[in-house]
Every structure is written in structure tokens, then in C-alpha cells.
Amino acid sequence: MPAQYVDVVVFLVLAGTFPLITLAFGYLLRPKNPAPLKRGIYECGEIPVGEARIRFDIRYYVFALLFVVFDVEAVFIYPWGVLFRELGWYGFVVMMLFIEVLVVGLIYAYRKGALRWA
């Protein structure tokens, strides 16, 4: 094994064992006195009513996912705008292809109705 990788192997071993050791210490040191009141649902002092799980409409999830995708688009476009003149035509063409893919995705999402709330 080359001497260059000894530090990396030691780091990986420590990174793998440290969480296991801390979890084991927590398991051994924590108090073990379960009670029905402790296992109950806490609702800010109120008695819980109904099920804890409710069904969300998938449209909210899809809308949030689309927001994240187009937010990441802005993260990629900003540095491109800063270096626009240095990148030249190649950078311009690559960014236009990137924006084209995103616009096609936006049109697809709009036609599928993912952007409508009701």
C-alpha cells in the first residue's frame, strides 16, 4: 500500500467508527425507563385528535421539486453571467443549450398541469 494513502485510510476508519462509538455510548448511558406517557404524541399540551399521518396531494411535492430545479438553474446561470465575456461563444452556446433543456422541461410541466394549484 503506498504511503500516500495511509492518511486517507486512517481518516476513513475513524470516520466510520466514530459514529458507531458515540451511538454505543449513548445507548449504554441513557436512562431506560419507558412509560406510556413518554411514548405518547406531544401536541403542545393538547390532547391529540385523529391520525398523526395525513395524505398530502402530490401536486405540492411536484411544485416544490420544480422550484428546486429552477432555483438550481439560477445558481448555474449567475457564474456564467459573471464570466460571460471570458467564456466566449462556446460558453454562450453551452448555456443556451442548458436553458433550452430547462425551458422544454418547464413547458412539459406546464402542459402536464404540474404548475396549477387547483
Q: Tell whether the model's pLDDT for residue 13 goes beyond 90.
A: yes
Q: Who has greater pLDDT, 63 or 118?
A: 63
**CATH number, domain at 71?**
1.20.58.1610
Q: What is the pTM of this model?
A: 0.49
Q: Is residue 68 part of a domain?
A: yes
Residues 48-59 have pLDDT tens digits of 777 767 787 777
Instruction: Decide: 114 and 59 in contact? Cβ < 8 Å.
Output: yes
Q: At what angle are helices 84-112 and 58-82 packed, to 10 degrees?
A: 170
Please give the residue range of the domain that contains residue 69: 58-112
Instruction: Decide: 80 and 91 in contact? Cβ < 8 Å.
Output: yes
Q: Is residue 50 part of a domain?
A: no
pLDDT in the model for residue 15: 95
